Amino acid sequence: MTVLVGLSPRARDDAGGAVGLGARLARAWDEELAVALVVTPGTDADATPAWAAVAGVLAATGLAARRETVHGRSVAEALVAAAGAQDVTAVVLGTDADRSGRIATRVARSSPVPVVLARGGGSSVPGLPIDRVTCAFDGTAAATALLAAAADLARRSAASLRVASFAVRRGRTIPSEVGPDVEDPVLAAWSAQIAAAQREALATLGLEGAETGVHVGTGWDAAVHAASWTEADLLVVGGSPHAATRFFLGDRAGAILAAAPVPAVIVRP
């Protein structure tokens, strides 16, 4: 089986951590590594600098990578086609300059395999193991299936599993005379409800020993960072099975992805 890294011919370095992360995942999952240069109309097809960059990243890992070139009318189209190869288990992409993950989201919308987006300093440390897989659990109908996918990734990575839900405290909705230290009762009720849903989903899947938690902040970035993270973590988020590409992740999952301080796996239900 193969971890596939998507790379632009214009890449002159690790392209946002993609090659290093691909090597890290291939080692953790005991799989082969392939790097695909994506050529679209009008793209400079001179691959020499990109292949030199790949060789430089892999030199210290002891891993070899299969090289291939994929063509398409767009980057997403070319990568989705490449992801359909029989042996591919995941597609790895570098971080967009604006951290939006827009290309990864477009690929994930139609990809038959998960898409992994490089995030954080740990992405470019190929020898770093994956110690924990965190499922971004939102309690929707698709949440249990997403948790099952996260649990499978944890098993493949010989890592622990964490179930985490995130919420934003938009403002106080309780009377001011109650005091500033009293929690918003609506948020408190939601937190209790989502915590119960986490336990129910774990029980349904027969999973034991997973860490759980509900993390709240004044914005999505603060909420995501309220959970503890290390460079050895991997985050799993899910999209809607029927939404158009633009709305594939939705506001909540898209915001969590943008705030993620660690590599993120986008799973299509």
Residue range 50-93, pLDDT digits in tens: 888 888 888 878 889 999 999 999 989 999 999 998 899 999 99
**pLDDT tier at 181, thresholds 50, 70, 90:** very low
Expressed as residue numbers, the domain containing 62 is 2-123
Q: Of 121-130, 133-142, 157-166, give the lowest mean pLDDT range.
A: 121-130
Measured CA to CA, the distance from residue 32 to residue 179 in angstroms comes to 58
Residue 93 and residue 116 in contact, taking contact as beta carbons nearer than 8 Å: yes
Residue-wise pLDDT for 187-230, tens only, equals: 889 999 999 999 999 999 999 999 999 999 999 999 999 999 99
114 pLDDT above the threshold of 90: yes
Q: What is the pLDDT at residue 178?
A: 35
Residue 87's CB is within 10 A of a number of other CB atoms, namely 11
Please tell me the total count of domains within the chain: 2
**Statement to judge: residues 12 and 136 lie in one domain:** no
Q: What is the pLDDT at residue 92?
A: 95
**pLDDT tier at 11, thresholds 50, 70, 90:** confident
**Statement to judge: residues 203 and 86 lie in one domain:** no
pTM as predicted: 0.89
**Statement to judge: residues 137 and 253 lie in one domain:** yes
Taking all residues of the chain, what is their mean pLDDT, rounded to a whole number?
86
E-assigned strand segments in 29-127: 32-39, 65-71, 88-93, 115-117
| Domain end marker among 71, 91, 123 | 123
Residue 239 and residue 267 in contact, taking contact as beta carbons nearer than 8 Å: yes
14 pLDDT above the threshold of 80: no
Report, as an integer, the average pLDDT of 111-134. 88
Q: What is the pLDDT at residue 171?
A: 63
Dihedral sign (CA 221, 101, 44, 88): positive
Q: 180: which residues sit within 8 A by CB, 6+ positions away?
A: 172
**Statement to judge: residues 150 and 203 lie in one domain:** yes
Report, as an integer, the average pLDDT of 233-251. 76
Q: What is the CATH number of the domain that holds 102?
A: 3.40.50.620
Measured CA to CA, the distance from residue 12 to residue 7 in angstroms comes to 10
**Statement to judge: residues 169 and 258 lie in one domain:** yes
| Domain end marker among 123, 141, 160 | 123
Q: Of 14-18, 70-74, 79-83, 139-143, give the lowest mean pLDDT range.
A: 14-18
**Statement to judge: residues 112 and 138 lie in one domain:** no
The DSSP secondary structure of 54-81, one letter per residue, reads HHHHHTTTT--EEEEEEE-SSHHHHHHH
**Statement to judge: residues 71 and 90 lie in one domain:** yes
**pLDDT tier at 173, thresholds 50, 70, 90:** very low
